[in-house]
A and B are shown apart, each in its own frame.
Chain A
């Protein structure tokens, strides 16, 4: 029997309202005891967590692992290593792979590869429509039976309102959450960054925030029409905040929403110098939008934080801004970004931040994770919340180097990461 004893740490487990010094004992991959001053038993591997915060392993419900199909950008293994170094123990894999995860074979492949690699938990999501073309529904129930935790056409979004309504009705039938990326293509057109003063100075075609506002409103309307569970991916605009807040205040418990950490931390000014790592969808927006997003975090308009980790090879970013690929990597930095820009900046408590990276995302995808309850899977992260560091993308665990946080000063770093009771990461090394 393998046992672990984590001693002297400050445990933050929002699912149980715990925020105090406690020890944790793990046996056979499960949490077996959470109590003050546990005694060392024979066979215990003792981890001294003095000065560290001990939390459930983080769950990131929007990650592009690129496998199958684009293993030159990222694989389940490299994404897993990057995740571990960021304290992340579970991810939801987006379905825009090659082939698209629009059938049970791809869903099962992702589970199989993740098990072979054996680093973190990878929960695949399936496509809403076949090949993500927005024309015909994918076999959602087959994918659900194979273990898909959500359906989404992330990256392209369903434009046809009738198909979106049918998809929501069908997802409800299958009891699976539908995740929407919220973009109105007719308004986005050739836009490559947030439309505003910065895009005007750079002479780049802008994307109006109305493209997101309109899609968010449309999604909420249709979800309420059919009573489906809707999760709104990577929100970035003030209009989205207002719409989601209003929907939640009206008592719509079927609606959840996330914000990717770059959208509460960075503005469109990152695009100056035609920095293609700052090119992403939704785009980094102006300060007023960022402030609205932070307000939405504070009043729980947003349930979860994600990365939208989107690895790209260098040639796809060494291009004119207009032609470069959309997306930034982020698995290694999301905790530090949250801690630095929200907790240390005084916007929210540490426990609230951890809740939105553990218990809340687990609730959205309905997995029994994100908690340190006795009997739960022993996915645990240990953080030094005060460590100041600068992310150097040259040292990344990811296969790709397109990270907008490269060179940024951050606060807080995962020191150890435990998955299923096994210590997988310690002080910069994958074990």
Chain B
């Protein structure tokens, strides 16, 4: 007998609600929230692209003030698979280019009675700021160098599934690359600490934020040493313009020092996995042959898990069983 997908989801949810009404930081995610999101995400993943009617009649806006490929597409598809109506606002078409503030743009969008606004900005803190002033639930899709919480959640799902565990206790995760400018790191490190992982970072001193060790991690300058014995090797993208700004001399030298080559990945544990938030710069962050073909690479699984996690959030944040509502300040 095949299970009805909607029944499966409802049973998996088991009348649970999230504690938060906006998601702007992993710091908001309680242990209960986390297990609810993971359970529901796995259930959505079981049913592939099945179209649920959970969010029928509700609207979502992707307000991306900074360019994105996968995150915006992922939210859009996920919303549609929940029967939501969606619209996308990207930086080139936004009126912020005409001098309108983020707040005024968000207030305008909010007047369309949207249920969810996903927000991506080049400045840190904008999703948190907007969440205080608009009725729609805000989901951060990445803000400056701060956080990218849905990325962190999908990364956690990918790791936990690989290790078939509910925590990462006893596991070592090595994050390599541009830590300083990475919102992916911001969410990932917070979640890894919640999951009790041992965290190492490997980067040149110029790409490490001050006091990063306070997250509870070990700093390495030598990528080989950092990767040796790791369970997860997580590579971050380095951007071309960092060279011009004096953080690194050249991408060539960077890729020699911190690029993930097959030799380097072989230093990790035999069952270790390779992850990357994308977009990958082949042969700079990660050796080309490792990206999509090497069995240790989970880069494409991350994308699939991204859809599952985002569907879970879109459903759980819009359909609240406890009737909890946002309180906002009009400015």
Contact = CB atoms under 8 A, between A and B. Distances in A.
A is bound by B: yes
A197 B210 contact: yes
A196 B129 CA distance: 22
Contacts of B49: none
A321 B123 CA distance: 8
A203 B124 contact: yes
B124 A202 contact: yes
Contact of B124 (A197, A204, A208, A315): A204
Interface residues of B, number: 23
B212 interface: yes
Nearest to B65: A320
Contact of A320 (B129, B210, B211, B331): B129
Interface of chain A: mostly helix, strand, loop or mixed: loop
Nearest to B213: A197
Interface in B99-149: 101-103, 121, 123-126, 128-129, 143-147
B211 A273 contact: no
B209 interface: yes
Contacts of B126: 320
Contacts of A204: 124-125, 144-146
Nearest to B103: A318
A283 to B, nearest CB: 13
A206 interface: yes
B214 interface: yes
B293 to A, nearest CB: 34
B327 to A, nearest CB: 15
Nearest to B129: A274
A314 B331 CA distance: 9
Contacts of B124: 202-204, 274, 320-322
B211 A197 contact: yes
B210 A199 contact: yes
Contact of B121 (A196, A200, A206, A320): A320
A195 interface: yes
Interface string A298-341: 00000000000000001100111111000000000000000000
Contacts of A314: 331
A195 B124 CA distance: 15
Contacts of A206: 209-210
A318 B101 contact: yes
15 contacts: A196-B210, A197-B211, A199-B210, A200-B212, A203-B124, A203-B183, A204-B145, A274-B124, A274-B125, A274-B129, A314-B331, A318-B331, A320-B102, A320-B123, A320-B124
Interface of B: 101-103, 121, 123-126, 128-129, 143-147, 183, 186, 209-212, 214, 331
Interface of A: 195-197, 199-200, 202-206, 208, 273-274, 314-315, 318-323
